[in-house]
Amino acid sequence: MRYEAVIGLEVHAQIHTCSKMFCGCPVVADTGDVAPNIYVCPVCAGMPGVLPVVNSRAVDIAIKTALALRCDILPTNRFARKSYFYPDLPKGYQISQYALPLAADGYLEIDSGGTRKRVGIRRAHLEEDAGKLYHDGRVSRVDLNRAGVPLLEIVSEPDLCSADEARAYGEALHEILVYLEVNTGEMEAGVMRFEANVSVRPEGSELMGIRREIKNLNSFRALRDSVAYEIELQSAALESGDTVEQETVGWDEDAGVTVPQRSKEFAHDYRYFPDPDIPPLEISRKKVESLRGQLPELPEAKRARFVVTHGLSAYDARVLAEDRAVADTFERVVETGVDAKQAANWITGELFRLLKGTDRSIGELDLPAAALAELIELVSTGLINRSTGREVLAEMVSTGRRAPEIIEARDLTQVSDIRELRGVVRRTLDENPEQVQEYLAGKRQVLGWFLGQIMRATRGKANPQIARELTEKELENRRDQ
């Protein structure tokens, strides 16, 4: 018997608004060096007698995200209390949405082995994050800085069929969230967390198998590996005639296995009911349409447009569209009239290499698109050669100065003057008679060595094409002498 997997994902994404979901405390990135319990007030600490107030910015961002996921926005939302008892939840309930969520019935397209696949989005709703527990020997501590941070929970249909598809879905969703600036996308900081529901069934069966839920996955790799592990495990169980137990499990990254979580502690009856402290949230069509109008072009559409209107390869389009700031820089460079392929090469090649070294993102550089365009033009018109161009770009990135200024100050203008270059070539050949003989005896690679010497003599300024032609010609001349 062969088995097929059925997977549905629940994703929790933090929404990085200025303040928390129901109080005025700031939302602060979990960098690990923030002192515990400093961004806490009576509301998010769950003191009696306080009243939550809905953060309308968080609602707007959630609506935009749901629209990007092609969801319908429900005209009336209700917040509900989800009761459970755990020390990271000060009120004893989490404010979430249940019967009337923010949005429903959307989809997200993913790449599945080269073809596009539509994955249904069942619902998306707003809720608040819980605090964080620290365990230190026999002592446990709670930090409520994160308690009350807005979360958008996005629940997929069970449309995914493999561990790779689950990962592709996670990545596609991550890309959209970062594009819409919902959060920073830093998975290590827990801004996006996955839960995977996995079941298997005999191939071709219409019935759904019994699912197991893997909690708290913090990376794409953990998502893919844990799902792959569960598919194997469950298929093997069915194969040997066992049944799969419905269970909630965690992922032990080091051991590469899922581990059951104590079911007693996690066997919930959440006793959902509408939160009487928060009035129903009415969302007008007008508001939805105005937010729809604010949506930026999404990565998928951008990639397609880069291929069609700028003639880029699918690969270049993908690399450039991955980051919104990179894509914007590219387009602004092209707008100045620079050839699109040239612009793509400089950005994905040289600029990315420099960024890696500086640990900064393109938006953090003091490098206006106009300055980058200017540099590319100076190289393509031949004022400086390509390798000097690279050096100049590095200096632009580190100092914020413009290319012409750097070229002028360092006297880097390319030498294309034939007379001048011929002089350098002749001198170089005169000084290296042995290498000349080697070349003439058939060792063609000596040409590259000569060009290196010529570049050194001109401090990198020689026009490489002209230098190469002159050197070949001069070498041949010496054959006849």
Interface residue list for ligand ADP (CB under 6 A) = 6-10, 155-158, 197-199, 208-209, 211
- Residue placing its CB nearer to Zn ion in the complex, 147 or 369: 147
HEC profile of the chain? CCEEEEEEEEEEEECCCCECCCCCCECCCCCCCCCCCCCCCCCCCCCCCCCCCCCHHHHHHHHHHHHHCCCEECCEECCEEEECCCCCCCCCEEEECCCCCCEEEEEEEEEECCEEEEEEEEEEEEEECCCEEEEECCEEEEECCCCCCEEEEEEECCCECCHHHHHHHHHHHHHHHHHCCCCCCCHHHCCEEEEEEEEEEECCCCCCCCCEEEEEECCHHHHHHHHHHHHHHHHHHHHCCCCCCCEEEEEECCCCEEEECCHHHHCCCCCCEECCCCCCEECCHHHHHHHHHCCCCCHHHHHHHHHHHHCCCHHHHHHHHCCHHHHHHHHHHHHCCCCHHHHHHHHHHHHHHHHHHHCCCHHHCCCCHHHHHHHHHHHHCCCCCHHHHHHHHHHHHHHCCCHHHHHHHCCCCCECCHHHHHHHHHHHHHHCHHHHHHHHCCCCCHHHHHHHHHHHHCCCCECHHHHHHHHHHHHHHHHHC
Binding-site string for Zn ion from residue 302 to residue 331, where x marks contact by CB under 5 A and - marks none: ------------------------------
Tell me the residue number closest to ligand ADP, measured at CB.
Answer: 8
Residues facing 95 on adjacent strands: 81
Within 287-306, the residues that bind Zn ion by CB under 5 A are none
Q: How is residue 234 written in tokens? A: 């469950």
Between the alpha carbon of residue 16 and those of residues 95, 149, 179, 355, the distances in Å are 18, 8, 13, 25
How near is the Cβ of 278 to Zn ion at its closest, in Å? 15
How near is the Cβ of 223 to ligand ADP at its closest, in Å? 13
- Residue placing its CB nearer to ligand ADP in the complex, 154 or 425: 154
- Residue placing its CB nearer to ligand ADP in the complex, 125 or 211: 211
How near is the Cβ of 16 to Zn ion at its closest, in Å? 16
Rounded to 5°, the CA angle 460-465-469 comes to 115
156's contact among ligand ADP, Zn ion, none, with CB below 5 to 8 A by partner kind, is ligand ADP
How many residues line the site for Zn ion (CB under 5 A)? 5
155's contact among ligand ADP, Zn ion, none, with CB below 5 to 8 A by partner kind, is ligand ADP
- Residue placing its CB nearer to ligand ADP in the complex, 6 or 15: 6
109's contact among Zn ion, ligand ADP, none, with CB below 5 to 8 A by partner kind, is none
- Residue placing its CB nearer to Zn ion in the complex, 106 or 148: 148
Binding-site string for Zn ion from residue 32 to residue 61, where x marks contact by CB under 5 A and - marks none: ---------x-xx-----------------
How near is the Cβ of 234 to ligand ADP at its closest, in Å? 10
- Residue placing its CB nearer to Zn ion in the complex, 23 or 214: 23
- Residue placing its CB nearer to Zn ion in the complex, 40 or 354: 40
- Residue placing its CB nearer to Zn ion in the complex, 25 or 338: 25
How near is the Cβ of 270 to ligand ADP at its closest, in Å? 9
Tell me if 95 contacts Zn ion by CB under 5 A: no
- Residue placing its CB nearer to ligand ADP in the complex, 96 or 329: 96
Of 436, 440, 438, 439, nearest to 426 by C-alpha is 436
C-alpha–C-alpha distance, residues 263 and 246, integer Å? 10
338's contact among ligand ADP, Zn ion, none, with CB below 5 to 8 A by partner kind, is none
How near is the Cβ of 143 to ligand ADP at its closest, in Å? 26
Within 11-30, the residues that bind Zn ion by CB under 5 A are 23, 25
How near is the Cβ of 344 to Zn ion at its closest, in Å? 46
378's contact among ligand ADP, Zn ion, none, with CB below 5 to 8 A by partner kind, is none
44's contact among ligand ADP, Zn ion, none, with CB below 5 to 8 A by partner kind, is Zn ion
299's contact among ligand ADP, Zn ion, none, with CB below 5 to 8 A by partner kind, is none
106's contact among ligand ADP, Zn ion, none, with CB below 5 to 8 A by partner kind, is none
The footprint of Zn ion (CB under 5 A) covers: 23, 25, 41, 43-44
